[in-house]
Structure 1
Amino acid sequence: MLCMFAAIFNSELTKIDFKCDVCVIVIDSVYAYVEDQDNEQAVTEYLSKVCQYIPVDLFNWCEQIIEIYYQELIQAIVDGHPPYEICQSLQLC
């Protein structure tokens, strides 16, 4: 999983907006690592620990996004919305 984060953060995306990037990465990782994204409990459990996998310098951004938008993230993921669309709707992108 760290490889996915490292690859994304070494790209041009990091120059745009950290909040947006972190949001998209968090949601992408849910779709990549939670087998049943329709299962609210599985999504909830993963979101509660996803920031552990974020590079240390972005950990606080991740924690803030999860804390502020927790319920909205869960619902949007369970509903199957694309990551960038979710982050845009939260006004993070």
Structure 2
Amino acid sequence: MSWLILVGAGVLEAVWATAMGKSEGFTKLSPSVVFAVAIIASMAGLAYAMRDLPIGTAYAVWVGIGAVLTVVYAMATGEEAVSALKAMFLVMIVAGVAGLKLVH
């Protein structure tokens, strides 16, 4: 169960990171509210998962999921350029996160 909560918290990390960028320094209400709700839920999920998982593994997985999804979303919406090198490095992050899960 902790792994599922951790994955959900990682997804929410991508949500709050994207919302923070869209809030324009917290001057736009809707993205600012999404940011606040998502960061609280994301941190709560990370904290819950850390009750059963090693802190280093949980944190690395959480950050990895959030980082990859944030970049993929930005590339899918055209906010960030797509390149083969970026895709390769994102795959490397995913492989590292999967490796951490395998050795846990």
Asked whether the two chains share a fold, i.e. TM above 0.5, the reply is no
Q: Which of the five TM-score ranges fits, normalised by the shorter chain?
A: 0.3 to 0.5
Q: Which is bigger in relative contact order (C-alpha 8 A, separation at least 6)?
A: 1
Structure with greater proportional helix content: 2
Normalised by the length of structure 1, the TM-score is 0.36
Normalised by the length of structure 2, the TM-score is 0.34
Instruction: Please say which structure displays the higher CA radius of gyration.
Output: 2
